[in-house]
Amino acid sequence: MTDAPDKPFVPLNIAVLTVSDTRTLADDRSGTTLAERIAAAGHTLADRAIVPDDVPAIRERVEAWIAEKAIDVVITTGGTGFTGRDVTPEAVEPLFEKRMEGFSTVFHMVSFQKIGTSTLQSRATAGVANATYVFCLPGSPGACRDAWDEILVHQLDVRHKPCNFVEILPRLDEHLKRAKAKGATV
């Protein structure tokens, strides 16, 4: 993997959703971890919200964001485990037009290096919905750091080579005729 530093950076608009019955913005460490990393990378935090572990609440928030043409990426944190209240994949995956199977695989590879077989307790998932990338991460700050630092920071940077998500963003909606991301290639 190489970077193309001569290519201009393309900032994306990224929304962060924390799924939790107990967190508030004041104590949401995972959402804060993502928001800080998004800003540090040069992207824009388009919106941030917290909803309870509830399929309709999660789906409603994600649907609203993917309907906004200005939002390029949605990242959720929380609700990807196996307890009865963990319902983020059930809420979000039906919205996917295309699943991103490789994200889960790479996330688990990264996670395995940090927490070993405990990575099996995550149902991290990703896909494309209405020409918007959607990533569903576990609710721990460590998992959010790992996903951002090892995967997303690279794939959400047009300078990352040999390829990245930003380059193909304008083509995700070939069937929707959505405006192209500023600076992205066709």
Domain spans in the chain, listed from the N-terminal domain onward:
10-171
CATH number of 10-171: 3.40.980.10
Mean pLDDT of the chain: 92
Of 130, 145, 134, nearest in space to 41 by CA: 145
Q: For the ranges 63-67, 84-88, 128-132, 175-179, which has the lowest average pLDDT?
A: 175-179
- Per residue in 131-161, pLDDT tens? 999 999 999 999 999 999 999 999 999 999 9
Q: Is 125 helix (H, G, I), strand (E, B) or coil?
A: strand
Residue with tokens 């307790």: 121
What DSSP element (H or E) covers 51? strand 44-51
